[in-house]
């Protein structure tokens, strides 16, 4: 029986290094409203947090991702994205080699 995993990522670059295909499915669904940033770092996170606090973060930014699945891959990923105007939660599912994404929450405000 495969080993079950549950993991939360708060660093976008670490999430993208392991689950880039899930991020790309979410990005494609959003048609450019979010661009995954593999070069994200502490300075980027600080700048985003400041923009969010001031109400000036225009683009959706990675907040966190929760991953569930097996040691050899994910079955479900929940990605939370936030801007000063919008919060979106996307669920990405993988069955066999098919990856699908859907918006499960899209609300105005932080």
pTM, rounded to two decimals: 0.90
pLDDT tens-digit profile, the chain (110 residues): 455 678 999 999 999 999 999 999 999 999 989 999 999 999 999 999 999 999 999 999 999 999 998 766 788 999 999 999 999 999 999 888 889 999 999 999 75
Q: What confidence score (pLDDT) does residue 73 get? A: 74
Question: Strand order in 61-70's β-sheet?
Answer: 4-9, 61-70, 73-82, 86-95, 98-108
Q: What confidence score (pLDDT) does residue 2 get? A: 53
Please list the helix, strand and coil fractions of the chain in percent, rounded to the nearest 5, in that order. 30, 45, 30
Domain ranges of the chain: 4-108
Q: What confidence score (pLDDT) does residue 3 get? A: 53
């Amino acid at each position: 029986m495969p080993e079950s995993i549950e993991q939360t990522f708060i660093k976008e670059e670490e999430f993208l290094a392991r689950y880039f295909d899930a991020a790309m499915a979410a990005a494609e669904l959003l048609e450019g409203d979010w661009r995954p940033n593999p070069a994200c770092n502490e300075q980027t996170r600080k700048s985003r947090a400041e923009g969010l606090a001031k109400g000036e973060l225009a683009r959706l930014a990675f907040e966190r991702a929760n991953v569930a699945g097996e040691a050899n891959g994910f079955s479900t990923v929940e990605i939370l994205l936030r801007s000063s105007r919008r919060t979106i939660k996307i669920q990405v599912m993988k069955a066999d080699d098919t990856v699908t994404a859907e918006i499960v929450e899209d609300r105005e405000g932080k």
